[in-house]
Amino acid sequence: MNVLEQLARTPRAAIEFSNILLTTKDAPIGQTPKDVVWSHRTTTLYRYRSSQRTHPVPVLLVFALINRPDIFDLTPGRSFVEFLLGEGFDVFLLDWGVPGDEDSDMGVDSYVCDALPWGIRETLRASGEEEVSLLGWCIGGTFCAMYGALEPEGPARNMVLLTTTVDTSVSNYLPWVGRDSFDVEAVTDAYPSVPGRLIDRMNKTMKPLNNFFVTYRQLFAGTLDGTAKREAYQPMAKWVANNPPFAGRVYREWITWMYKENRLVKGTLRLRDRRVDLRRIEQNLCVVTAGSDHITKRPETLPILDLVASEDVTHLDRPGGHIGLMAGSKAKDGIWPDIADWLRERSER
């Protein structure tokens, strides 16, 4: 394409580019049919419809508090949920919902000691089974690990932890939120539920040029040469832009306990007067790390492998980023079958 052609195409590309950005919010995501099984406050337990459940032990998906769990079920063909259903699993999703200011009293214990066990309980009731596989991603994985440490003989048989923060001593976030001068109380005093936008901006600032400029520059270049894929860009962009607030108390506890004091890996974390000791985890454990993850770097997750008491421990390390690992174009032929294989071997009665 010569310069004149490029100039001639620019107005059209600009219109196409702005149209892609402006209609991103209309992109359909999370379309796999599901039913509400249980709800409490902002938390909802869903069960995905399936006519081919062949493995008795159900899989309960637990996502982070940042962004929405739609990433498990982005679009048809790019849906981990759809994949698991196709593999014969009974799939449940624990959706933390969108907390408001009135939910600012929800702390880490509310999620780990109430919502998660209650969600598991309802999963067991709905499926008629006695055991469950937990699949936690990011903070959801940390919550699952905490739960596993508190309830080593509980109904969780298998745990899959995806890009999960355990040891923050090497985290990229440490210089920001781990320092004494970062006053987490000031944030939660100003915002009883910390706006998701604020957290999203902070996350994006970790790779500022890429997140605030290069993504859009590449999209524009794609529209200019006709290679931009609207159906690939929009669902992911919509998911990235959907940032629910972080309930104030859990934000304060997460930053203080995990980043300022690094309590989980030190074994000093206590929830409702019970010590969360990772050495008590006995479940079959699969830990997944991503090579290019800058949000939860590999060394932040790996200490769990040496701490747990589980006899069955698997570590899967794959190329990709924090989200791209599971939602990227290579996930379907890469990490998804690996996780399904691991679960399949451990999901029979």
Partner 1 sequence: MADNERRTPIDQVKALYEDAETRTAEAVETLVRREGFGELLARVTENAMAMTQLAQGALDMTVRSLRVAGSQDIVRLGRQLNRTEDKLEMVLQEVERLQDELAAQRADVAALGGLFERSERSDGSSSQGLGKGSPSSSARRTGSASRQGGSSARGGSRQGSAGRGGSGSGSAGRRAANGGSSASGSSKSS
Q: Out of 3, 4, 7, 22, point to the residue binding partner 1 (CB under 8 A).
A: 3
Per the DSSP assignment, residues forming a β-bridge with 93 are 46, 61
- Annotation marks residue 138 as catalytic: yes
Task: Name the catalytic one among 70, 90, 109, 293.
Answer: 293
Alpha-carbon distance of 234 to 25, in angstroms, equals: 8
Alpha-carbon distance of 89 to 4, in angstroms, equals: 55
58: nearest Cα among 33, 88, 86: 88
Nearer to partner 1, 16 or 90 (CB): 90
Contact window for partner 1 (CB under 8 A) among 8-16, 135-143, 152-160, 327-335:
152-160
Alpha-carbon distance of 256 to 268, in angstroms, equals: 12
Q: Does 155 bind partner 1 (CB under 8 A)?
A: yes
CB 279 within 8 A of CB 309: yes
Min dist. Cβ of residue 119 to partner 1 (A): 10
CB 184 within 8 A of CB 257: no
- Annotation marks residue 293 as catalytic: yes
Residues 266-285 binding partner 1 (CB under 8 A) are: 271-272, 274
User: Any idea which residue has 């849906």 for tokens?
Assistant: 79
144: nearest Cα among 157, 130, 160: 160
Task: Name the catalytic one among 113, 138, 144, 286.
Answer: 138
Nearer to partner 1, 12 or 217 (CB): 217
- Annotation marks residue 322 as catalytic: yes
DSSP secondary structure letters along 92-131 = EEEE-----GGGTT--HHIIIIIIHHHHHHHHHHHHT-S-
Q: How many C-beta atoms lie closer than 10 Å to residue 195's C-beta?
A: 15
Q: Out of 112, 166, 285, 335, point to the residue binding partner 1 (CB under 8 A).
A: 112
Min dist. Cβ of residue 336 to partner 1 (A): 28
Q: At what angle do helices 230-241 and 3-22 cross, to 10 degrees?
A: 40
Contact window for partner 1 (CB under 8 A) among 36-44, 75-83, 135-143, 249-257:
36-44
Radius of gyration of the chain (CA): 21
Q: Does 5 bind partner 1 (CB under 8 A)?
A: no
Q: Does 298 bind partner 1 (CB under 8 A)?
A: no
Q: Does 114 bind partner 1 (CB under 8 A)?
A: yes
Residues that bind partner 1 (CB under 8 A): 2-3, 35-41, 100-105, 112-114, 117-118, 120-122, 124-131, 147, 150-151, 153-155, 172, 175-176, 179, 181-183, 186-187, 189-192, 205-210, 214, 217, 271-272, 274
User: Which residues are known catalytic residues?
Assistant: 138, 293, 322
